[in-house]
Amino acid sequence: NAGVMQNPRHLVRRRGQEARLRCSPMKGHSHVYWYRQLPEEGLKFMVYLQKENIIDESGMPKERFSAEFPKEGPSILRIQQVVRGDSAAYFCASSRGRDEQFFGPGTRLTVL
């Protein structure tokens, strides 16, 4: 049973470009979570999604950030017009419901 998959593992963007991060949950998991880890910081919760629904986006920045989890395909975290402060590791996790969250290896975003 494959774990949570994230791609790309490393992403480099120039200021003003768009970044798209993908997350494929574990088989049988319908809940997806996105977290951001800034340098020297712990993980900060961003958003919690179920299939086709955003359940909690209390940790998402108000502008430029969006997330989706369509009926088919991976969850996408989209960052428009990236700035240097967006450079971080972005982790996705999935769960079957109220059970344990399983984490992916992360995408390391560097904004030049």
Partner 1 sequence: GDSVTQMEGPVTLSEEAFLTINCTYTATGYPSLFWYVQYPGEGLQLLLKATKADDKGSNKGFEATYRKETTSFHLEKGSVQVSDSAVYFCALSYSGGGADGLTFGKGTHLIIQP
Residues that bind partner 1 (CB under 8 A): 4, 6, 31, 33, 35, 40-45, 48, 56, 58-59, 91, 93, 95-106
Please enumerate in sequence order all residues whose Cβ is within 8 A of that of 51, keeping only pairs 6 or more positions apart, or say none.
Answer: 30, 69, 70, 71
**Least Å distance between CB 76 and partner 1?**
18
**Least Å distance between CB 16 and partner 1?**
29
Choose between 48 and 111: whose C-beta lies nearer to partner 1. Answer: 48
Choose between 9 and 15: whose C-beta lies nearer to partner 1. Answer: 9
**Two tokens, residue 83:** 């700035």
Rg of the chain (C-alpha set): 13
Choose between 13 and 31: whose C-beta lies nearer to partner 1. Answer: 31
Scored b (16 or more CB within 10 A) or e, 42-53 reads ebeebbbbeeee
